[in-house]
Amino acid sequence: MAARDPYPVGTEEPLTTIDLTQDRLLIDAAVRMDVPFVDLANEHAPYRDELDAAVAGVVDTCSFVLGSEVAAFEASFAEYCGTAHAIGVDSGFSALELMLRAYDIGPGDEVITTANTFVATAAAIDAVGARPVLVDVDPGTHCMSPEDLAGAVTPRTKAVIPVHLFGRVVPMEPIRAVAERHGLLILEDACQAHGARYRNRRAGALGHAAAFSFYPSKNLGAFGDGGMVTTDDASLAQRIRMLRNVGSAEKYIHEIRGFNRRLDTVHAAVLRVKLERLDTANDRRRDAAAAYSALLGDLPVGLPDPAAFGQHVFHLYVVESERRDELQGFLEEWGVSTGIHYPVPIHLQPGYRWLGYGEGDFPVTERLAREMLSLPMFPTIGISQIAYVVRAMTDYFSRVGVWT
Ligand SMILES: *Cc1c(COP(=O)(O)O)cnc(C)c1O
């Protein structure tokens, strides 16, 4: 099947240089392809030797905990984000939790975030004993609604966690205005937004501190769990360094109560290699997103906001359809793997019923949970794979006879 394909998977040619109107995209629908949702093996293949050498280097030195690899990766990541400090931790969840803890946020405090996010954002607020206060998202941007944020502030509110969901940075200016008016800390959840920008500043450098995840499928992914806090605040950075390392900055001196939340050295070594490719990988994700949006333009599906394209890093490419579940099943039959992020909003999750929210409290989030579908998206996706997904979707909407 691949023999017919002029643009095989992982083609070096940027997708935006390909004429999307040419009929070579009209791959014979009878030729079945399996299009994975993500393809890490394919992404790693061209520099697999370097990744193997990075792992072997750690094994050679037997320096498995912290050490110079972690420090070097922290320095590179801080420089990449444009912050003074970066502190490696063992997950995105820990990054969120330690950031809150280092600012002494705990019982009696409230932290505002969106209902439309991965559950870890709220779980980290809960983990420090503070109360997660959820707000809806703006129907246009799908990001935290500044009006809803303003309406949720109480005298107990200490911080706001805007979530740069799917790789799009939350339009920060209106969020900042509300936060400044009420003296709130701005703590970014940048777990899906490595490299994304807002007015030429990177995610991670847009608030008081930010949390990143290096979960393997994120735009910058480790060979297991990992995370990072970025900040310009030197004393916060020092507190997080101690919190992650049983309260210790100096061996066997435990100045504060702490945890073991260190970033493993082997992950830092791998991430250093992958960080060098992050901008290229994000460019390719944007190219793939541009190709999807150009080819899906005539179908009755909601597409990502074109206004956000330049700065977006497309961790996910998400479309919206009232027929989402049926469409997903149809694509599966064609061999196209898709995802739903996220099918059940936090306020309707059994584990978070105690927050006291119910159906109807966040109508935009609830509609999105019914309608969002994440299409295959990874830096080495080929134009033929994208065209195949589009063909499958076109076939679906032709069959059901809904057209705009
Ligand atoms: C992945 C993710 C997290 C948590 O990261 P882990 O490394 O899995 O703990 C938090 N928030 C968002 C928005 C995420 O996508």
* pTM, two decimal places: 0.94
Q: Is the pLDDT of residue 186 over 90?
A: yes
Mean pLDDT confidence for 202-225: 98
Residue 392 contacts residue 297 (beta carbons within 8 Å): no
- Listed range (15-29, 50-64, 179-193, 258-272) with the worst mean pLDDT: 15-29
**What pLDDT, on a 0 to 100 scale, did the predictor assign at position 403?**
56
310 confidence band (pLDDT: 50, 70, 90): confident
Ligand 1 centre distance from Cα of residue 229 (Å): 13
Whether pLDDT at 24 is above 80? no
Of 18-32, 115-129, 293-307, least confident by mean pLDDT is 18-32
The 8 Å CB, 24+ separation contacts for 345-348 are 345/115, 345/116, 345/369, 346/115, 346/117, 346/119, 346/121, 346/122, 346/132, 346/134, 347/115, 347/134
pLDDT confidence band for 32 (50 / 70 / 90): confident
Residue 198 C-alpha to ligand 1 middle, in angstroms? 20
- C-beta pairs of 280-284 under 8 Å, 24+ apart in sequence: 280/379, 281/43, 281/219, 281/379, 282/194, 282/195, 282/196, 282/219, 282/313, 282/314, 282/379, 283/14, 284/14, 284/15, 284/379, 284/380, 284/381
Nearest to 237 by CA among 402, 83, 92, 22: 83
- The proportion of the chain whose per-residue pLDDT surpasses 90, expressed as a percent, equals 87
CA distance 304 to 20: 18
Compute the residue count for the chain: 404
The alpha carbon of 220 and the centre of ligand 1 are apart by a number of angstroms equal to 12
- Give percent of the chain above pLDDT 70: 92
Please give the distance, rounded to the nearest whole angstrom, from the Cα atom of residue 103 to the centre of ligand 1.
20
Mean pLDDT for the chain?
92
Residue 6 has pLDDT above 90, yes or no: no
Give the pLDDT of residue 4: 39
Report the nearest atom of ligand 1 relative to the CA of 124.
10
**Residue whose CA is closest, atom 10 of ligand 1?**
120
The pLDDT of residue 402 is above 70:
no
**Cβ(67)–Cβ(208) below 8 Å:** no
Residue reference for tokens 């490719």? 277
Ligand 1 atom at minimum distance from 91 CA: 7
Lowest mean pLDDT across 26-35, 48-57, 66-75, 285-294 = 26-35
What is the average per-residue pLDDT within 131-153?
95
Distance 145 CA to ligand 1 centre (A): 21
Q: How confident is the model at residue 222 (pLDDT cuts 50, 70, 90)?
A: very high
pLDDT (average), residues 56-81: 97
Q: Give the 3-state secondary structure of residue 314.
A: coil
Residue nearest to atom 6 of ligand 1 (CA): 92
Pocket of ligand 1 (CB under 6 A): 91-93, 117-118, 120-121, 163, 189, 191-192, 213, 215, 225, 227
